[in-house]
Chain A
Amino acid sequence: MAENKSKNLLEVKDLEVSFFTYAGEVKAVRSISYELKPGEVMGIVGESGSGKSVSSYALMGIIPEPGKVIGGNIIFDGKDITNLSEKERLKMRGKDIGMIFQDPMTSLNPVFTVGNQINESLKKHTNLNKEERTARIIELFRLVGINQPEKRMNQYPHEFSGGMRQRVMIAMALACNPKLLIADEPTTALDVTIQAQIVELLKELKTKINMGIIFITHDLGVIADICDKVAVMYAGNIIETGSIDEIFYEPKHPYTWGLLRSMPKLNAEEHERLVPIEGNPVDLINPPKGCAFAPRCKHCMKICLEKKPPAYNISSGHDALCWLPIKDEYEKEVKNNGKSE
């Protein structure tokens, strides 16, 4: 997108991540590319095993064993961070990039007070003195909607409920004013009413703080609520990416159609039968030769069985990894050629 001059906060180019298990190489992420501008919220939506979480772990450099980045570049704030040393990463983690996880209990240390844990991060990444740090923690707790911050910061993680713990995690991630926040299924483990609280909080923060957010979830409802643009992942590929309206109202990939259609509509007046995507998720160790979605696709063509589709640009910022729109374009071209001859 040469016409777009504003600087990207994050550029991911052809990123590939594989897990080398004894059963063979599992290609969890296969060449994905996307960009994120400051203040933008990008949703990554996909089912289990689609590689949505692994792709963001690559940004943080925390891919679990035996996984490895095997190709591509990650450019954050103009700097290539694909192959940083562990030391440089430690400096970056928590300072420039904050992350919140699905299960806040596993990412908080149970033997330290929550205030203590945020304090550690502030001590490492800033040169605030003790009073300033305490003031900052209180400010952060107010920001994420924790009442009585002076009292709560001296409590231990188990004294917080699930929703409150997630707020603490958000406060911790925001402590050093990161430029990028990665939220990995932050609401999946929460109840609907608590999920609504957290989503509202993140929406509020998005306007207050000008940071980029990558929001990973499997819930299209949450995506619709909070994101500016969406990347839909399937079997390690971003199969469609576009603005939120493009994805929800003009989807071009059959998988995106399927996802949108398979959800029951709350406002349906009559009982409508659901339209599932038939078949089972793809086996990542032994994926099909052509398009990964081909075995489940209702519009599967001969070429889909043989060749992986290229990313096809539908309109600026809207790409689909599918042969269908290419087919339309090809037929148009053939027709035009016929006329001109």
Chain B
Amino acid sequence: MGSQNNENLIEIKNLKKYFPIKSGFKTSNVKAVDDVSLFIKKGETLGLVGESGCGKTTLGRTILRLHEPSGGQILYNGTDITKANMHPLRRKMQIIFQDPYASLDPRMTVGDIVGEPLDIHKMFQNKKDRQEKIYSLLETVGLNREHANRFPHEFSGGQRQRIGIARALAVEPEFIVCDEPVSALDVSIQAQIVNMLEDLQAEKGFTYLFIAHDLSIVKHISNRIGVMYLGHLVELTESKELYRNPLHPYTQTLLSAIPIADPKTSRSKNRIVLEGDIPSPLNPPSGCPFRTRCPHATERCAQERPELKEYGSGHFAACHNIKQ
């Protein structure tokens, strides 16, 4: 995967993020992201799925350097930004948060929230131009200019998420990390936001890293999908291919565990139900992280960690037991 390709907007190589945990005098590490490599092409949407604690959110934030990486490299447009001054890059890379309630400062008006990036990067000297920009941003995300003087708590979840998107758009970024942008929203509102993100991408050519635990939404919006488990990337491929031909046993269970809103299908479906819980990231299993719950685990899985290998064009998986 290390191929130098100038079509890749983001490339990460062996990225690691460990959080130190102090217990008594011992300091151990939670390996939230462990040795993940992937690339995101210009204009594409890369989906990232996994369950809580799998490190998908940490990965997204480490790419934006909201967390400092513990190892590995982050390339943006071919330049290494692992140690770079992020201030100018904040205009290129943005993030949309999961919780539309916690991600907006309750003491600021909507206009000030959306205008904050304009002030930070001193994008407008003229007050009137700044105000016009705020209005146009609000209209882009389907709100009115009258909303600028209101406070976040006066809005519903979906509207707040729109405000958060307007704030991210203010700096005219190229790359946006969408960190579970619809998980906290009602089903009927989710579709509004997903459609809007798609429209914005078509119009402005954004590149998205779309993080979610809901595989059906990730599959809907993404070109390619990466599946994470306990800090590792276990499978990465095109989204249709992932659905049609999941190679990693974890991906298979994940697909089978998703409840389908169709009583007839779910009656006939034979679901793979995993035994046991997700291991604690403080104390991950040796070898393959999934082996404790994997129905096909062998002796070898406990000994060595499987590397991410390519099976078919662009279909990567990390498992010892894939026959091909």
- B261: chain A residues at CB < 8 Å are 220-221, 223-224, 248, 260, 263
Residues of chain B within 8 A (CB-CB) of A161 are 277-278
Count of A-B contacts with CB under 8 A? 129
Of the listed stretches B65-73, B90-98, B210-218, B298-306, chain A binds B210-218
Show 8 A/B contacts (Cβ-Cβ < 8 Å), sorted by A. A161-B278, A191-B213, A193-B273, A194-B51, A221-B258, A262-B188, A269-B240, A276-B188
Q: Are B187 and A164 in contact (CB under 8 A)?
A: no
**What chain A residues lie within 8 Å of B243 (beta carbons)?**
266-267
B146 within 8 A of A: no
Q: Is A268's CB under 8 angstroms from B257's CB?
A: no
Contacting chain B: which of A57-65, A124-132, A277-285? Answer: A277-285
Question: Does A258 interact with chain B (Cβ within 8 Å)?
Answer: yes
CB proximity to B under 8 Å, residues A188-227: 191-197, 199-200, 218-225
Q: Is B245 an interface residue (CB 8 A)?
A: no
Return the contact of B51 from the options A193, A197, A281 (Cβ within 8 A): A193
Please, how many angstroms separate the alpha-carbon atoms of A265 and B187 in the complex?
A: 13
**B209 to chain A: closest CB distance in Å?**
18
**Distance from B50 Cβ to chain A, minimum over Cβ atoms (Å):** 9
Structural contact, B260 and A266, CB atoms closer than 8 A:
yes
Contact B277 A164 (CB under 8 A): yes
Give bound CA distance, A267 to B243, whole Å. Answer: 8
> Across the interface, which residues of B come within 8 angstroms of A324, CB to CB?
none
Q: Given A262-B188, A280-B156, A200–B263 Cβ distance below 8 Å?
A: no
Query: Within B240-284, which residues are at the interface with A (CB < 8 Å)?
Result: 240, 243, 253-266, 271, 273-274, 277-278
Partner of A47, one of B188, B255, B256, B277: B188
Q: From known contacts A161-B277, A224-B259, A273-B195, infer whether A218 and B186 are also in contact, taking CB-CB under 8 Å.
A: yes
Give every chain B residue within 8 A of A200 (Cβ-Cβ): 271, 273
Whether A276 contacts B191 by the Cβ 8 Å rule is yes
CB distance from B221 to the nearest CB of A (A): 8
Bound CA span A248–B254, Å: 24
Excluding A266-B219, A274-B195, A276-B188, 4 further A-B contacts by CB distance (< 8 Å) are A192-B213, A194-B277, A263-B216, A274-B194
The answer to whether A275 has its CB under 8 Å from any CB of chain B is yes
Q: What residues of chain A lie closer than 8 Å to B263, measured between beta carbons?
A: 224-225, 244-245, 248
Q: Given A258-B188, A264-B219, does the pair A192, B266 have CB atoms closer than 8 Å?
A: no
Within 8 A of A (CB), among B187-201: 187-192, 194-195, 198
Chain B: residues with CB nearer than 8 A to chain A?
Answer: 51-52, 156-159, 186-192, 194-195, 198, 213, 215-217, 219-220, 240, 243, 253-266, 271, 273-274, 277-278
Residues of B within 8 Å of A186, CB to CB, are none
Given contacts A200-B273, A219-B259, A225-B259, contact A259 B188 (CB under 8 A): yes
CB distance from A283 to the nearest CB of B (A): 9
Specify the chain B residue showing the minimal Cβ separation from A258: B188
**Who on chain A is nearest to B250 by CB?**
A193
Asked if A195 and B259 make an inter-chain contact with CB atoms under 8 angstroms apart, the answer reads yes
Which residues on A sit within 8 Å (CB–CB) of B259?
A: 195-196, 199, 219, 221-222, 224-225
Check A275/B191 contact, CB under 8 A, given A266-B219, A280-B156: yes
* In the complex, residue of chain B having the shortest beta-carbon distance to the beta carbon of A273: B195
A12 → chain B closest CB, angstroms: 24
Bound complex: CA A223 to CA B267 (Å)? 12
Which of B157, B264, B265, B274 is close to A197, meaning CB atoms less than 8 Å apart? Answer: B274
A266/B216 contact (C-beta < 8 A), A196-B273, A248-B261 known: yes
Q: Which of A164, A192, A221 has the most CB of B within 10 A?
A: A192
Collect the chain A residues with CB atoms within 8 Å of residue B194's CB: 264, 274, 276
A48 at interface by CB-CB < 8 Å: yes
With contacts A266-B215, A269-B240 taken as known, whether A192 is within 8 angstroms of B186 at the C-beta atoms is no
